Amino acid sequence: MDIRFRTFNVLNPETETKRGRVTAAIREDKDKAYISFSYCSPKDKYCKKYGQLIAFSRVNMKKERSEIGVENLSITRIKGLLVEDAFIRGVPWMADIEEKHLR
């Protein structure tokens, strides 16, 4: 039950400059994948280990993660889940972000 991490730079839609970062924790179990996110706002100082720690703790809590079939696991799908998760959590600096703004 390994956990992989993927960090996305969030770009400002108007200027294409970096607005913040999001770390995804991905845990695969047989036929399912569990994904959770931690958000580093433009006001925060980015810390890779801290972002991974938050995402790691969330991926192990049922209410804090998304669940998809392993066959549907792709970067595009993860980006879609990220945008959806940010909307549900009400992350204000992610309100106007679409998948195309994630690198």
Beta carbons within 10 angstroms of residue 59's beta carbon: 22
Per-residue pLDDT reduced to its tens digit, 6-23:
999 999 999 999 999 999
For tokens 């706002």, the residue is 41
User: Within 1-103, where are the H helices?
Assistant: 48-59, 75-89
pTM for the complete prediction?
A: 0.89
Which token pair is 66? 């998304």
Q: Residue ranges of the domains in the chain? A: 3-94
Per-residue pLDDT reduced to its tens digit, 64-87:
788 777 777 889 999 999 999 999
What single-letter DSSP state applies at residue 102?
B
